[in-house]
Amino acid sequence: MGKIVISENASLDGVVKDPAGDEGFRHGGWVGRITDRPEVGKLALDEALGAEAFLLGRRSYEWFAAKWPSRGGELADRLNSMPKYVVSSTLEDPDWNNSTVLGGDVVNEVAKLKREIDGNIVVPGSFQLLRTLMEHDLVDELRLKIFPVVLGTGERLFGETSDKKPMRLVETQTLDEGVAYLTYERVHDT
């Protein structure tokens, strides 16, 4: 059985909008360059190497697909070769190799994927997908990189849910320049 692992960058006040600065958000680019943060870069590589597949929303998929196919190096090689699943009702024929579109009911498609893949299914970015997966109790683990900046405005990581979603902190690390790396696992009712 697969495990859905959410991997997100967030500001101290929970903003996830435009971390790389590519979307025109006035506070975008708040994560800085990954090459300037070697521990964050190593974390990205370790996460990719430990994943059986990536699961992405369409916008995150398009961002990754525009950047990584032309790059080289260990991280690029892993991202370009690993299976990628895209949740989208509009994308029909993805260009990035090893990509499959999951159409139809998101909850059913992701539940099916969890049954079919043995290992970590990492969801990088894709905060709208995260919200759907959280609402339907499909998230097994949250990996949050909290960057030491308050933005004051912008799309937040979590939206409203129909009920509380208990999590347990299982690991903390401090990375380059005060980036907090927090790992939570879902607490299921017994």
Model pTM score: 0.93
pLDDT at position 135: 93
- Residue 91: count of CB within 10 angstroms of its CB: 18
Q: Write down the pLDDT at residue 161.
A: 85
CA separation, residue 88 to residues 12, 83, 109 (Å): 30, 16, 11
Query: Tokens 């892993």 correspond to what residue?
Result: 78
Only one residue has tokens 């509009």, namely 90
pLDDT value, residue 41: 87
Q: What is the distance between the alpha carbons of residues 58 and 67, in angstroms, rounded to a whole number? A: 14
What pLDDT score was predicted for residue 79?
95
CATH number at residue 178: 3.40.430.10
Block means of pLDDT (10 residues each) for the chain, 190 residues, are: 96 92 87 80 93 95 93 94 94 92 93 96 93 94 96 90 92 93 88
Instruction: Give the pLDDT score at 190.
Output: 55
Range of the domain at 13: 2-186
The CA distance from 141 to 170, in Å, is 10
* pLDDT of the residue at 148: 94
* Number of domain units in the chain: 1
